[in-house]
Structure 1
Amino acid sequence: MIQHFFKIAFRNILKYRTQSIISIIGLAVGFTCFALANLWIHYDTTYDAYHEGADRMYILCKENIFGTSGYSTYMPYPASTVLKNDFPEVEAACAYTRWTKATDIKVDGQPAVEVHEMQADSCFMNMFGISILSGNMDFMYSDDKIALTEDVAMRLFGTTDVLGKEVKNYNDDPKTVCALLSDLHHSNLSFGSWGQGKYFRSWQDEWGNGGFEIIIKLHEGTDVAAFQKKLAVHEAKADPRDPHRVFENVRLIPLTQYHYSPINQTKSIKLYYLILFSVAGGLVILCSLFNYLSLFITRMQMRSREIELRKVCGSSIGGMFILFIVEYLYIIFSSGILGMALIEIVLPAFKEISGVSGNIYGESLLYFIGILLLSLLLLVPFVIRRSRIRNTVNRYMLRKASITFQLVTGILVTFCMIVMMKQIYYLTNTDLGWERKNIASINLLYPDKDFETIADKIKQFSCTKEVITGHCCLLPKSSGFSQSFKNWDGKEDGMKSIDMLSLWNCEKIVSFYNLQLLEGEMVKPTETNKIMINESAVKALGMSEPIGKKLYLDNRAWTITGIIKDFHITAPTEPVQPYTLITEDILKNSGFSIGKGQILIKFHDGKWKELKNRIDSIFTYEYPEVRYKLYNTEEEYTGYLKSEDALIKLLSFIAIVCMLIAAFGIFSLVTLSCEQRRKEIAVRKVNGAAIKDILLMFVKEYMLLLIIASVIAFPVGYVLMKRWLENYVEQTVISAWIYFAIFGGIMIVIFACIGWRVWQAARQNPAEVIKSE
């Protein structure tokens, strides 16, 4: 009997092969998107969750104008000692330095390997269960010793027997491998090498170096909010061991949440966008399920005679139920097999982008089982009803609801995608207050006597327009000088001091980046008692007419002579920071060493590749010992939009799939509807109805569904996109043409889907149709 059911199911799928193929592809694509998105979400939300007591571990951070997100996790080393000794709530605390950007380690005669370097004390090893597999701990006490992880040892030497071997770091300093360490996988703290122990320990009592990160582990049952308040009270006591008040306004970020928090600027795709992609994949699955379910129920209604004959011949309700379930599951299992095949195809690219590892297939199978159960839950009520009841109350209600849901999903995703594309286009092309196109910068990691010589050589290139030195580039942000003003003219009572970043050599930097002077005049290089500020600084100071007013710092006064238009050099979601523009003499008088800065380059339009090749050639053949980084300013700014770009690509794909499913669903349902209503169409023709009248009958029905879907989708899309746009400092406008374009485009698709099929049905001979019925 089961074999018979499988044969009947297979024949019915072949009979409606077009609808079946569309359903299989739609479900497979939706399953793939949903599974991969949820795999990524699960992976990102479980970073460092495997450590013992991970739920009680926190990274310390606080507001900082140098932080890209407005926050920084960097603090002085001795702060960890104070936390460990003075606060009984703290079970363990450790300070460490982990370079966020990978550095090179190499062996003579072999290509360099990029690794993250770690510097910490043994308390870090104890907290995270890092073990010494072989060797000793000399790397913690000597600057010429180094420890490698198993993974890096295999990449460098092809073996883990590396004790006593020599490697060279990014500065070509020789290091002897004295230990082999276990790896930290799936962790924000993963590293490949551990060294410079003596240098690291030299900062144990220095509060002036805020270049360390601190992780604490609280005792079980500790109230985190109460502990943060206790830290604030501790600051109010003005502890002489904490001259910089590093615990003031400190925040505790759970270690397990750090990876997907806004503070982590190394993450390329935001968790929020992964959730949206997962939801979009789920909507595709629902669209496909509803589409196939409506087609399946419609076909069941068309098979009324077959069903009644089977009952007369002795088929039980249970047998009919099994028959329908087998036919239905054919499609579900076929889509699952295709979905797993799609996952296998895209898996290499997916792993490279996301870094996800582990049991991907096992977790994907669980998602498929969930989809299978959902599909059965949707189907069973209809099958039972159709098996028991001959006539339905409204045979077309499911069909209309299915089409409406698919249209709502397609309109909503398309609307969101267009608004996002418009916002990114706006951010890419709008005036952000400074010139960023056709500009590059070179950062020499160890500037020496060749600095100016290299700059002069670049000036001679035919592809360059202008080259200047002795400045810090705006992007990537490299200004490391700030001023904290506690007093100024017109300061209101209760206002706190204001930290401002500073740019020096203001006349040249304003000219090079085409910063806009809104009012006042430019500060001359010889004027050491004058200063310029940007619009955000004016707002922060609460000044209405700032020109001529003074800022006070360390018994010195600077007169504001000019206002610069805000220049957006941070992420588009971050507000513009207050800036001062000062002369180089002011900087030198403050005792701050500016070094040699970067080499800033303006190049001719379309000459980036030529410039890059020529610069790489200079350093490869003429200055091979000089380490450098070359940046394209436009590419650096575009890097802020990586998450948005990725989401748009994903949503574009989802939108196309949704609209195809809806289009083919409409076409399939119209085809089945024409078959069901052949006699009705024939009778209408006998009574004088023209082809256009019959066509208009179908068009009205589906146009009404499109209007209902638009009334639902457009307001929801507007609310979602309005809230999304509020995250950006500069926002595009949700124009009216978007609504008309989407509505008109989908209307054309509907006309194309129903026009040809209805026209064919309407042209049939009424006499032949009635005779066949």
Structure 2
Amino acid sequence: MFVHYLKIAVRQLLKYRTQNLISIVGLGVCLLCFSISLYVGRFILATDSCFENRDRMAELHLTSASGETFAGTPAPLPLRLRQMQWDEVEAMTFVAYPGERSFRIEVQEGEFFPFAPLICLETDSCFRQVFGPDIVAGTWQAAVRTPNAVVLTESVARRIFGDNLSDAIGRQLETTLKLPFSQKRGGVIYTVQAVMADLPRNNSLNFMRPIDMLVLNDSDGLLQWEGNAEMTGGSTYALLRRGGKALQDLEESFRRAGVKYSLYNEEFEVSVWPPSKGFWKYSVASYMLGVALALGVLVLVVGLLNFFYFQIGSFLNRSREYSLRRVLGGNVRQLLAQLFVQAALVVLLAFLLTFCFIEALTPLLRFSLMEWELVVDASVLHWQCVQYLLCVLVLSLLVCAFTVMRARRATLQNGLRGQSVRSRHRMRTAMLGVQYFICWIFITLAAALYLQADKTTSALFGTLTNREKADILSISLDYSFLKNADKLALVERMKQHAGVADCLLADVAYTRGVSGNTLYTAPPDDENKREIYVNLLSVPQNFFEFMHIPLVQGRAPENSGEIVVDKLFEDDMLAERRESLMGVTLYDYRSSYAVSGVCAPLVANVYRRGNQPGFFSGFAFLPLDSNNYVGHCYLKCHPGQTDDVREYVTALLAETLPYTVRPEVGTLLADVEEMQGIESKLKGVVLFLAVVCVVITLLGVYAAITLDTERRRKEVAIRKVNGAGVRHIFLLFARVYLWTLGITFLLALPLLVLLLQQWSQLYAVFFGAGPLFWLGILLFVALVTALTVVFRIGKIARVNPAEAIKTE
């Protein structure tokens, strides 16, 4: 019987080959999008599952009398708790917050080369007992006994020392910059004592970012710093001896013993939390999880509705066949098996297409959002797709059972005449309405993201056009191994290219930070001084001409004792302190400056931030001493010569820098887009999902009209005989789709308006979502829907009525 059912299924697929192809491709693409979105969601949900002792781990936090909890703990906390010896605890460890360190690394014996900064975790000897990393070279015991010991991760060791991991053991690393808790300006020596297996990116120690090394017994780190008791610089973890109620037992033991920690002149209790609770409370992972799951589920709903929409329609169009089977003795079980074989065949073909997509796209399945990075494991994704396959097959079985019940409800007379149940149209319209509702969400979000990205890109450093930003090269010179004189000589060589129009030196990249944030109304040692908190940029004299920033009052600085402030800072001072800055002398820790002018506002941040007490908007522009330090360089290129200058500068840097350091040459426009990581990355993803949803919905409309016209061929023929024209036939079939489109738009509009209003609260600059925005979205979807309907109905309208009646 199975072979017989399979033959019938194949015949039905070939009979409606176009509609079935639409269902297969639509479901396959939607399943691909859903699988990738859910992969991200499941990856986030599995945070810290890589630690074999996770079920016995606990986080320790400080809680005030009012119930407020610190995200971190002081470094001495685990040491003090260890000394008290708790029955419930097997081990405790402290892990400092991750941070970057710059090193010169001994690649070969006696040969040191600089490398890009490495992400380090400072910890203690109990780290391995709690977290259990696998040591693949060297020994953990050697690292525990050695001062300034380093445990590299396997990927970093292979990148630096090659495939033979034992070559890394004993190599030295020398810091090139001052560490936060060190008095030395570089020159601290560390020794590699072990290599451990890489930790998956979904760990709460450094979520979605790599961990390059562990540092133990750090002489210049937080754990041995004298002031570490007065700050929270990391997290404390405990490994419990047993599961069950061990968390509650340990916290009760703390309460009975009166364990408290004094910080900031206040007593705090020590709370015990389950593993990862602090991660979910204080990180943005929960928002990322919600976005990933929402996008995936919405796309899957569109694909499944399109698939089941066609399947149910095609099944119920065969009511005459079902009635004949009943007359010939067919039972419910046989009909269910027949329909399920057909549905399962389509589902299997759709999943086969999904697996092919995954194999083809595996090299491209790498995602980055701001500082987060994720590489999709194709084998894991395949296994998850198999799980989804089983779920879809179960849903298909339920749909087939529903179809069989509907068919059995019809009388034999109605079934033999080919009459169907009217309520099917209401169900079909409802399914199409849900698809259109989801389309409105994706299309609106895609349009809004593109418009907002364009708005913010234009607003950031808005005195320059986007074309001018693209013609300005952004070159990092923040290399601690280069002397400042060598950097200036390198810049002079860059300027010799004929395509360079101007050069701007800076201490920091303008898109990545500021030079400082504190000025004084009197010398720093004056007791009557007042502090002024405002963003400071150290700029050369050609800054205002280079950036096309006009002066609205006063004049440009003429010497190192004069500065310019922007209009936002000036207006804030007038509003809060009722005094103008023109002619006022301000101070920093080095010198005094007279305000010589006020310039137009410099927009370097489009996100809205809370008003911190005493912090003023805008900028103050201090003179840059390029002979002291240069960390960045901007080259303005003549139009059409940017690529040539980039190649020249890249070759020059490659010639100057060691082979271990990769030159960084971008454009100011690329830097600006990088500042808007969310908009720049999400807009492409959401646009792709919007296109998928619209195309699948329109293909579903096309397939539905095809089923309608096949079922109502005789009716159309009779209407044409009675004088109905193409316009009447078009309205006969199209009005239900146009009504569905309009009603779903009205239902989705309030939700989308509210969503955009909430989103706009994050920005100081937001695009105008006015009536034209909504009208444009409505007209776009209405137009493509109308074209789809016209294209399909045009075929049925041209059929000869006599031939249509004969075939009936």
TM-score band by shorter chain is 0.7 to 0.9
- Give, in angstroms, the shift of residue 407 of structure 1: 2.5
Q: Name the CA distance, whole Å, in 2 between partners of 1:231 and 1:429.
A: 55
1:319 corresponds in structure 2 to: 334
- Give, in angstroms, the shift of residue 182 of structure 1: 4.8
Of 377, 381, 394, which residue of structure 1 is paired with 2:423? 394
2:434 aligned with 1:405:
yes
1:303 corresponds in structure 2 to: 318
- Give, in angstroms, the shift of residue 611 of structure 1: 3.0
- Give, in angstroms, the shift of residue 649 of structure 1: 2.0
Alignment RMSD: 4.9
Asked if 2 retains the 8 angstrom alpha-carbon contact of 1:106 and 1:113, the reply is no
Of 672, 678, 688, which residue of structure 1 is paired with 2:713? 678
The residue type paired with residue 383 of structure 2 is G
Q: Could you report, residue by residue, the CA deviation over 1:434-462 in whole angstroms, capped at 9, with x for unpaired residues? A: 65551524323234242332232223222
1:41 corresponds in structure 2 to: 41
Q: Name the CA distance, whole Å, in 2 between partners of 1:38 and 1:521.
A: 58
| Range moving further from structure 2, 448-457 or 29-38 | 448-457
- Give, in angstroms, the shift of residue 33 of structure 1: 0.8
Of 335, 339, 343, which residue of structure 1 is paired with 2:358? 343
Of 402, 406, 409, which residue of structure 2 is paired with 1:381? 402
Asked if 2 retains the 8 angstrom alpha-carbon contact of 1:37 and 1:275, the reply is no
- Give, in angstroms, the shift of residue 310 of structure 1: 0.8
Aligned partner of residue 122 in structure 1, secondary structure? coil
1:492 corresponds in structure 2 to: none
2:75 corresponds in structure 1 to: 80
Aligned partner of residue 308 in structure 1, secondary structure? helix
Residues 419-498 of structure 1 mapped to structure 2, 5 A cutoff: 419-430=448-459, 432=461, 435=464, 437=470, 438-441=472-475, 442-448=477-483, 449-469=485-505, 471-477=507-513, 479=515, 481-483=516-518
Q: Name the CA distance, whole Å, in 1 between partners of 2:138 and 2:650.
A: 40
* Residues 81 and 610 of structure 1, relative CA distance in 2, 3 Å threshold: farther
Q: Name the CA distance, whole Å, in 1 between partners of 2:134 and 2:803.
A: 85
Q: Name the CA distance, whole Å, in 2 between partners of 1:182 and 1:419.
A: 43
The residue type paired with residue 761 of structure 1 is I
Of 134, 138, 155, which residue of structure 2 is paired with 1:134? 138
2:658 aligned with 1:663:
no
Q: Name the CA distance, whole Å, in 1 between partners of 2:260 and 2:671.
A: 37
The residue type paired with residue 25 of structure 1 is V
- Give, in angstroms, the shift of residue 26 of structure 1: 0.9
Asked if 2 retains the 8 angstrom alpha-carbon contact of 1:439 and 1:601, the reply is yes
1:68 corresponds in structure 2 to: none
- Give, in angstroms, the shift of residue 126 of structure 1: 4.4
- Give, in angstroms, the shift of residue 509 of structure 1: 4.3
The residue type paired with residue 382 of structure 2 is Y
Query: TM-score, with normalisation over the residues of structure 1?
Result: 0.79
Asked if 2 retains the 8 angstrom alpha-carbon contact of 1:469 and 1:600, the reply is yes
Aligned partner of residue 366 in structure 1, secondary structure? helix
Q: Could you report, residue by residue, the CA deviation over 1:365-407 in whole angstroms, capped at 9, with x for unpaired residues? A: 2233333334444453333122233452434223322332322
* Residues 260 and 136 of structure 1, relative CA distance in 2, 3 Å threshold: closer
Q: Name the CA distance, whole Å, in 2 between partners of 1:102 and 1:344.
A: 38
* Residues 262 and 415 of structure 1, relative CA distance in 2, 3 Å threshold: farther
* Residues 539 and 173 of structure 1, relative CA distance in 2, 3 Å threshold: closer
1:581 corresponds in structure 2 to: 620
Of 365, 372, 375, which residue of structure 1 is paired with 2:386? 365
The residue type paired with residue 413 of structure 1 is F
- Give, in angstroms, the shift of residue 324 of structure 1: 1.9
The residue type paired with residue 567 of structure 1 is L
* Residues 619 and 758 of structure 1, relative CA distance in 2, 3 Å threshold: closer
2:415 corresponds in structure 1 to: none
Asked if 2 retains the 8 angstrom alpha-carbon contact of 1:103 and 1:116, the reply is no
* Residues 475 and 291 of structure 1, relative CA distance in 2, 3 Å threshold: closer
Aligned partner of residue 292 in structure 1, secondary structure? helix
Q: Could you report, residue by residue, the CA deviation over 1:329-353 in whole angstroms, capped at 9, with x for unpaired residues? A: 2212221222222222222321575
- Give, in angstroms, the shift of residue 564 of structure 1: 5.2
Q: Name the CA distance, whole Å, in 2 between partners of 1:170 and 1:410.
A: 54
* Residues 207 and 460 of structure 1, relative CA distance in 2, 3 Å threshold: farther
Could you list the runs of 5+ residues in structure 1 that have no partner in the other structure?
61-71, 240-246, 265-269, 489-495
Asked if 2 retains the 8 angstrom alpha-carbon contact of 1:484 and 1:498, the reply is yes
Asked if 1 retains the 8 angstrom alpha-carbon contact of 2:511 and 2:675, the reply is no
Residues 21-60 of structure 1 mapped to structure 2, 5 A cutoff: 21-51=21-51, 52=53, 56-57=58-59
Asked if 2 retains the 8 angstrom alpha-carbon contact of 1:535 and 1:563, the reply is no
The residue type paired with residue 780 of structure 2 is G
Aligned partner of residue 297 in structure 1, secondary structure? helix
The residue type paired with residue 23 of structure 1 is S
* Residues 456 and 146 of structure 1, relative CA distance in 2, 3 Å threshold: same
Asked if 1 retains the 8 angstrom alpha-carbon contact of 2:113 and 2:658, the reply is no
The residue type paired with residue 457 of structure 1 is R
Residues 625-636 of structure 1 mapped to structure 2, 5 A cutoff: 629-630=664-665, 632-636=667-671
Residues 573-652 of structure 1 mapped to structure 2, 5 A cutoff: 578=616, 581=620, 583=622, 595-622=629-656, 624=658, 629-630=664-665, 632-652=667-687
Q: Name the CA distance, whole Å, in 2 between partners of 1:505 and 1:348.
A: 43
* Residues 451 and 53 of structure 1, relative CA distance in 2, 3 Å threshold: same
Q: Name the CA distance, whole Å, in 1 between partners of 2:576 and 2:291.
A: 42
Aligned partner of residue 681 in structure 2, secondary structure? helix
Residues 103-252 of structure 1 mapped to structure 2, 5 A cutoff: 107-108=107-108, 116-130=119-133, 134-135=138-139, 146-155=150-159, 156-162=161-167, 166=171, 177-186=192-201, 187=203, 188-189=205-206, 191-194=211-214, 199-201=219-221, 204-207=224-227, 213-217=233-237, 220-221=247-248, 234-237=262-265
* Residues 378 and 164 of structure 1, relative CA distance in 2, 3 Å threshold: closer
Aligned partner of residue 107 in structure 1, secondary structure? strand
Aligned partner of residue 167 in structure 2, secondary structure? coil
Asked if 2 retains the 8 angstrom alpha-carbon contact of 1:97 and 1:211, the reply is no
The residue type paired with residue 547 of structure 1 is S
State, as a whole percentage, how many aligned pairs show the same letter. Answer: 20
1:66 corresponds in structure 2 to: none
Q: Could you report, residue by residue, the CA deviation over 1:576-632 in whole angstroms, capped at 9, with x for unpaired residues? A: 9746526459x99xxxx9744544433334444333332333344356599675453
Aligned positions, number: 728
Asked if 2 retains the 8 angstrom alpha-carbon contact of 1:463 and 1:603, the reply is yes
| Range moving further from structure 2, 394-403 or 185-194 | 185-194
Asked if 2 retains the 8 angstrom alpha-carbon contact of 1:151 and 1:183, the reply is yes
Asked if 2 retains the 8 angstrom alpha-carbon contact of 1:486 and 1:497, the reply is yes
Aligned partner of residue 329 in structure 2, secondary structure? coil
Of 754, 761, 771, which residue of structure 2 is paired with 1:719? 754
The residue type paired with residue 380 of structure 2 is N
Q: Could you report, residue by residue, the CA deviation over 1:237-283 in whole angstroms, capped at 9, with x for unpaired residues? A: 289xxxxxxx9xxx99998478889978xxxxx87466445434433
Q: Name the CA distance, whole Å, in 1 between partners of 2:222 and 2:711.
A: 86
Q: Name the CA distance, whole Å, in 1 between partners of 2:800 and 2:106.
A: 83
The residue type paired with residue 20 of structure 1 is N
- Give, in angstroms, the shift of residue 19 of structure 1: 0.8
Asked if 2 retains the 8 angstrom alpha-carbon contact of 1:95 and 1:212, the reply is no
Asked if 1 retains the 8 angstrom alpha-carbon contact of 2:150 and 2:194, the reply is yes
* Residues 341 and 626 of structure 1, relative CA distance in 2, 3 Å threshold: closer
The residue type paired with residue 19 of structure 1 is Q
* Residues 142 and 656 of structure 1, relative CA distance in 2, 3 Å threshold: same
Q: Name the CA distance, whole Å, in 1 between partners of 2:589 and 2:480.
A: 33
- Give, in angstroms, the shift of residue 471 of structure 1: 3.8
| Range moving further from structure 2, 138-147 or 252-261 | 252-261
1:285 corresponds in structure 2 to: 300
